């Protein structure tokens, strides 16, 4: 039985796609808006958490804490996303 050895290689060219600069600007704008909205949610959640804790309203304090933590985690993921993608792309290109 013959053994088939296929070497698959892909070398993407980011400049080869027509309109790639427009796509890059769109992604950059979407990232900026997502980060701004996530940080706004974290600040609103933290404010709700502080006011509700001060007035001894435990239900709203729990909801504010949840909103602040989830929004802060979302901001962390959005902000660290490009670095994580570059890290795993570099890791994948060095793996053999």
Q: Report domain extents, the chain.
A: 27-89
Banded pLDDT at 4 (limits 50, 70, 90): low
Strand segments (E) across 13-83: none
In this predicted model, what pLDDT tens digit does every residue of 49-78 receive, in sequence order? 999 999 999 999 999 999 999 999 999 999
Residue that is written with structure tokens 């990232």 in the block: 31
pTM above 0.85, yes or no: no
51's tokens: 């006011």
Averaged pLDDT, 14-24: 76
Helix axes 20-54, 58-94, angle to 10 degrees: 150
pLDDT at site 21: 80
């Amino acid at each position: 039985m013959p053994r088939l050895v296929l070497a698959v290689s892909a070398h993407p060219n980011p400049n080869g796609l027509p309109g790639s600069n427009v796509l890059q600007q769109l992604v950059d704008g979407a990232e900026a808006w997502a980060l701004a909205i996530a940080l706004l949610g974290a600040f609103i959640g933290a404010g709700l958490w502080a006011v509700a804790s001060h007035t001894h309203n435990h239900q709203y304090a729990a909801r504010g804490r949840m909103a602040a933590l989830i929004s802060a985690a979302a901001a962390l993921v959005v902000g660290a996303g490009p670095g994580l993608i570059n890290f795993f792309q570099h890791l994948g290109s060095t793996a053999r």
